[in-house]
Structure 1
Amino acid sequence: MSRARPAFSVRGLTKRYEQTVAIEDVTFSVDTGTSVGLVGPSGAGKSTVLRILLGLVRPTAGTASVGSPGAAAGIGGGSPVGGMLAPRGLHPARAARDHLSIHAAAARVPDGRVEEVLDSVGLSGHADTRISALSAGQHTRLALATALLADPPLLILDEPAEGLDASARGWLQDFLRGHNRRGGTVLLSSTSLAAVVPMVDNLVVMSEGSVVYQGSPAKLRRGHPDRLVVAASTPVALATVLAARGYTDAVIRPDGRLAVADATESQIRDAAHTAGVRLDSVTADPIHPDRVLASLTKPRTTAPTPFAAPAPYPNHPVQQPTSYGIPR
């Protein structure tokens, strides 16, 4: 059985700014054809990792590769990669189509590709709208369109759900899954676990510059399961029958109710019937993914800020565009 090829790989990655450690000993890989979420609170080091992979920042120690084993990190490393970073690098006075045309020329892709990516992200109707008049969600779509101009198999996306409503997040999920089915690979970052869980196969959770969890969303949820909270006449008897049926994760809370993981309501009611226990209520107690994230991480009190945002237009009329995977 052949092993999956890594599309992105970092080993022992460390970046220091004078006395501040942005990231330390970060190690993970992303298999080709999958999507991985790099998740953590602001200041956890996610953007530093992405910028190192895009070749925009040099690590202090460790290695980062994009594409085939040993390939150099960055958009000039010989492996087609599209990047979408924050801030988005969009000039407010340009129309959406003009912005894409400039980047298409730099990337040496046909002019027709501009219309294709506008359509693919749902911005055809806003092609001639100035960027300053677009919503935050439309800024995100336009930045994604820019990253897609060269049709890269590898995508690095910083906060791709930023500004998107629920419907647009569903569209993004379908879009990225389609990219995976075509053999493409995605590494995306977010401060919200809930925002990325539907889009990814695996998670890398960072806190204070270090990795604190790696694995599937399902594995993470098993350690933090949703529960049904049961008010029963004899909770100990109910817990005993449930345990005999394999539902051993049941805890009696201080108020006397039984909090049960894994079992369905019908299974609990069947167990109660067998035990001769009266049920007064069964209430769902779902654990929001961001509660799980908060239990794994803590925000930095002083986050490293080596990436200064550009001055706002018109004080900075010649804004340098963010890198979008255009060959250097």
Structure 2
Amino acid sequence: MSGGGGDAVRMRGVGKQFEQISAVDGIDLTARAGAVTALVGPAGAGKTTVLRLALGLLAPTTGSVEISGPGRGPGAVGAVLSPRGLHPARTVRDQLWCYAPLAGVPNSRIDAVLDDTGLTALADTEVALLHPGQQTRLALAIALLADPPLLVLDDLFADADGIERGWLQQLLRRHAERGGTVLVSASSLADVVSAADQLVVLSEGAVAWRGTPAKLRRGHPDRLVVAAAPSIALATALAAQGFTDAVMRPDGRLAVAEADEPTIRAIAEAAGVRVASIVADPIHPDRVLASLTKPRTHQHRVPAPAAGTAFAPMPNSYGMPR
């Protein structure tokens, strides 16, 4: 894979309508080369539709979709769709053997991909005997056969446990660090926030928020909850020292951001405020996601790609950097 600079995927004003239902509307999205861009949102938010529009499996009703970067043809894009599109009776190796000609690579590439995805020991295992995480690894292995510059990955973290999630995050980071582009969807912000360079939050088919993980953390910081008497005096003293992000809770405690416990205690002592307790209140990423989105009032099914479509053969702590 050879990476290039600039934008690998550009979507401008993209909308998609199925009969009378608007699946997505007004989507502006950029996925940069050398970066991981994550689409995050609840079920029905439009993530799968956006990825299928990016792949050309769906035609937009409005707007434009552009794919650029090195290479064209089946080796330029690797896709993992949902469902994964794996034959249950084939072995792992046979599944890769079937797709190698479509990817334009020799069979010798199969062993390297098995090794990269940790599937070498399972090469002769039938797909039906793999657990969902291993099936996702196999779908990834197929997508990686041609070492494509662009990876488009739908619902990659479904059914992943903590260890599997960490492995997937590392794989995405490695691909981006080699100059590749990753466009990945997830229903949980916790799954992608530590691996992503850019987050795009979808809600009801529209972009609800976009930015970096660091920007998201600044807007939704972890806090220390302080029981002090009087709390208002502590809030005033903290503000005088530049710690203005302090929120009074209904129980009278003060939730303070961006100040550590020794600093709070020192400011309280100087102001003559008695501190009874300080407890950490880390915010879970999915609490943040819930605050930015709302569930769909209707659901829609994305139609399967037509036979012969170019991409059809491809199978289907807070964690934020401070």
2:103 maps to a residue whose letter is A
Q: CA deviation at 1:325?
A: 8.7
Question: What is the match of residue 113 of structure 2?
Answer: 117
Q: CA deviation at 1:4?
A: 5.4
TM-score normalised by structure 2 residue count: 0.91
Q: CA deviation at 1:79?
A: 7.5
Question: What is the match of residue 266 of structure 1?
Answer: 262
Secondary structure at 1:211 match in 2: strand
Task: Find out whether 1:288 has 2:278 as its counterpart.
Answer: no
Mapped contact 1:109–1:149 kept (Cα < 8 A):
yes
Cα distance in structure 1, aligned partners of 2:300 and 2:166: 33
How does 1:128-139 map onto structure 2 within 5 Å? 128-139=124-135
1:324 maps to a residue whose letter is M
Secondary structure at 2:194 match in 1: helix
Secondary structure at 1:102 match in 2: helix
Cα distance in structure 2, aligned partners of 1:205 and 1:219: 13
Question: What is the match of residue 324 of structure 1?
Answer: 314
Question: What is the match of residue 24 of structure 1?
Answer: 25
Q: 1:211 to 1:323 in 2, by over 3 A?
A: farther
Question: What is the match of residue 160 of structure 1?
Answer: 156
Cα distance in structure 1, aligned partners of 2:282 and 2:250: 18
Question: What is the match of residue 232 of structure 1?
Answer: 228
Mapped contact 1:89–1:322 kept (Cα < 8 A):
no
Mapped contact 2:75–2:104 kept (Cα < 8 A):
no
Secondary structure at 2:42 match in 1: coil
Mapped contact 2:14–2:60 kept (Cα < 8 A):
yes
Question: What is the match of residue 174 of structure 1?
Answer: 170
Secondary structure at 1:137 match in 2: helix
Secondary structure at 2:193 match in 1: helix
Mapped contact 1:4–1:32 kept (Cα < 8 A):
yes
Task: Find out whether 1:6 has 2:2 as its counterpart.
Answer: no
Question: What is the match of residue 40 of structure 1?
Answer: 41
Q: Which runs of 5+ in 2 are unaligned?
A: 306-310, 317-322
Question: What is the match of residue 317 of structure 1?
Answer: none
User: How many residues align structurally?
Assistant: 308
How does 1:54-203 map onto structure 2 within 5 Å? 54-68=55-69, 76=73, 80-203=76-199
Cα distance in structure 1, aligned partners of 2:94 and 2:75: 27
Mapped contact 1:82–1:325 kept (Cα < 8 A):
no
1:62 maps to a residue whose letter is G
Q: 1:323 to 1:220 in 2, by over 3 A?
A: farther
Secondary structure at 1:199 match in 2: coil
**Which of residues 265, 268, 275 in structure 2 aligns to 1:279?**
275
Cα distance in structure 2, aligned partners of 1:275 and 1:136: 57
TM-score normalised by structure 1 residue count: 0.89
Cα distance in structure 2, aligned partners of 1:270 and 1:185: 47
Q: 1:185 to 1:210 in 2, by over 3 A?
A: same
2:214 maps to a residue whose letter is A
Mapped contact 1:140–1:163 kept (Cα < 8 A):
no
Question: Greater CA deviation, 92-101 or 78-87?
Answer: 78-87
1:159 maps to a residue whose letter is D
Question: What is the match of residue 318 of structure 1?
Answer: none
Q: CA deviation at 1:322?
A: 5.0
Q: CA deviation at 1:280?
A: 1.1
Q: CA deviation at 1:139?
A: 0.7
After superposition, what is the alpha-carbon deviation per residue over 1:4-56, rounded to whole angstroms, capped at 9, x for unaligned?
A: 51011101111111101011110111111000100111111111111111111
Alpha carbon RMSD of aligned pairs, Å?
Answer: 2.1
